[in-house]
Chain A
Amino acid sequence: MIKKRKRAYGFELLELLKVHGLSIKEGTLYPLLSRLSKEGVLSAQWEIAPDKGNPKKFYSVTDEGQNKAVQMKEEFLKMNQLLKELSNNRSIKYYEQ
């Protein structure tokens, strides 16, 4: 979601997730964003809008984060396929790494 918007701040993400039916508590999201920043998956930048005084911490996906996202997507799709096959009672297909 951050990648799609190029950058987003916490409050904005919460609103977006809510719109997509993924209601995450703010007490869960902010610590998660904090960890991903620390791991280098996300980069963060503080900005203060000229009209409003509240500083906002904008997150954007780093190159490392983009690579991880691709890997995770592949993993997810493999897992999804596996689960589909299991639920359809078909023989399990083994994927080469």
Chain B
Amino acid sequence: MNNKNPKLEAYLTKIDKALGSIAVSEKAEIITELKSHILSELSRNPNQNLDKTLASLGEAEHVANRYLLERGLSPSKASKHQAIKWAAFGLVGTLSVFAVLAMFLFTQLTPIIEVNEAEGRVRILGGLIDISDHTSSNSSTKKVDRSLQEREISGTASLSGKNQNINIPFANAILALNNSKDDKLSWTCKIEQDSKVKNFSLKEKNNTYNLDMSQVEGANCNIELPRDMKLSIHGSNGNIQIQKPAFDVDLKIKNGQVSIHPREDLDYSYSLDVTNGEVDGNFISSTNEKAKTIKVSILNGQIVNSKESD
């Protein structure tokens, strides 16, 4: 063992510094004795390496503190270097935990939106919300065939006068909006067998009809609307199909897909907005005063021109 081993010298220098107020001559004796011990240990046991010998002796600051305590002196405080080292370890550890958590959430919640037209399914936030044509479910964990557990409810109403307003609030639903053949408002829905709702209530107030579907989860409805109505429809999660509308639409949902099939013989004025997602297809707005207004706003989802995709 070279007597000038840098690691050994660094260790002894640390002890020397940590010995603080002890007289220089005493410090020199302490350092010489410790060095002699380490070299004796290494020459006695050739298999023992320097790191093990130093570890056996203890941290330089601890060894120095024992000398100070034996003399009734205050031990030196942990060096700033040590404090910074542990603070850095803590910070890196905390950041690592956050990074792993962020990566986990990213992998679990991506893609933000995935539309599978073949399966008639919209998956949002990596499947956290799963809207399917077949199951009417908003959860990917529900794989049960619900066709046997559903019942049908329907209703019809003759609306007096033209240019009436119709509001349809809903929670989670698959809705097909079509033109009525007899100028009546009608609806046919499949809902869960055990749902407490007997039928949807239709209430009229100030020329506005309110068809409340907000108490039903996962309704699958076909709704027929009279011409020239002003339809206002809003909900949380939905898959809405608007078929050749001869009525105005003001539609607002948080998550889902809206497909629009315009009529060739009618003009439309579009206002389409998707915050997270896309508008797929061309929607040409007309300046015709008589153009039907189609206003759609989605937070997470997609608007599709289903005429183009046919």
With contact pairs A10-B37, A11-B40, A35-B71 given, residues A30 and B58 touching in the complex (Cβ less than 8 Å): no
Given known pairs A55-B32, A57-B33, the reply for A31 and B3 (CB within 8 Å) is no
Contact with B along A4-16 (1 / 0, CB 8 A): 0000001100000
The reply to whether the CB of B128 lies closer than 8 angstroms to some CB of chain A is no
Closest to A33 in B: B33
Partner of B63, one of A27, A54, A55: A27
Interface of A is mostly: helix
Contact (Cβ within 8 A) A31 B67 = yes
Task: Determine if A57 and B58 form an interchain contact, defined as CB atoms under 8 angstroms apart.
Answer: no
Q: Which of A26, A28, A44 contacts B37 (CB 8 A)?
A: A26
- B62 proximal to A (CB < 8 A): yes
Say yes or no for B168: interface residue by CB 8 A criterion.
no
* In the complex, chain B residues whose CB is within 8 Å of the CB of A57: 29, 32-33, 36
- Measured between C-beta atoms, what is the minimum distance from B207 to chain A in Å? 93
Kindly provide the distance from the CB of B63 to the nearest chain A CB, expressed in whole angstroms: 5
Q: Specify the chain B residue showing the minimal Cβ separation from A36.
A: B70
Chain A positions within 8 Å of B44 at CB level? 11
Contact, CB under 8 Å: B40 / A27: no
B3-46 to A contact mask, C-beta < 8 Å, 1/0: 10000000000000000000000100110111011011101100
Chain A 1-50 residues near chain B, CB threshold 8 A: 10-11, 25-28, 30-32, 34-35, 38, 44, 46
- Set of chain A residues within 8 Å of B40, measured between Cβ atoms: 11, 54, 56
Of residues 70 to 128 in B, which have CB atoms within 8 Å of A's CB atoms?
Answer: 70-71
- Main SS of chain B's interface residues? helix
Query: Which of chain A's residues have a CB closer than 8 A to the CB of B33?
Result: 10, 30, 34, 57
Q: A31 near B66 (CB under 8 angstroms)?
A: yes
Q: From B26, B40, B44, B67, name the one whose CB has the most chain A CB atoms within 10 angstroms.
A: B40
Q: Shortest Cβ distance from B76 into chain A, in angstroms?
A: 14
- With most chain B CB atoms within 10 A of its CB, the pick from A11, A38, A52 is A11
B206 CB–A CB distance under 8 Å? no
Tell whether, in the assembled complex, residue A25 and residue B56 are in contact, meaning their CB atoms are under 8 Å apart. Answer: yes
Task: With CB as the reference atom, state the residue of chain B lying closest to A26.
Answer: B57
Contact at B3–A53, with CB atoms within 8 Å? yes
Q: In whole angstroms, what is the CA distance A31 to B30 when docked?
A: 8
Residue ID in chain B nearest A55 by CB atoms: B36
What is the distance, in angstroms, from B89's C-beta to the closest C-beta of chain A? 25
Query: Which of chain A's residues has its CB closest to B44's CB?
Result: A11
Q: Are A26 and B36 in contact (CB under 8 A)?
A: no
B72 closest partner in A (C-beta): A35
Pair B56/A26 contact, Cβ less than 8 Å: yes
Contact B37 A30 (CB under 8 A): yes
Task: Report A's interface with B, CB cutoff 8 A.
Answer: 10-11, 25-28, 30-32, 34-35, 38, 44, 46, 52-57
A to B CB contacts below 8 Å, 15 in the list: A10-B36, A11-B36, A11-B44, A30-B37, A30-B67, A31-B63, A31-B66, A32-B70, A34-B26, A34-B70, A35-B71, A53-B3, A55-B36, A56-B40, A57-B32
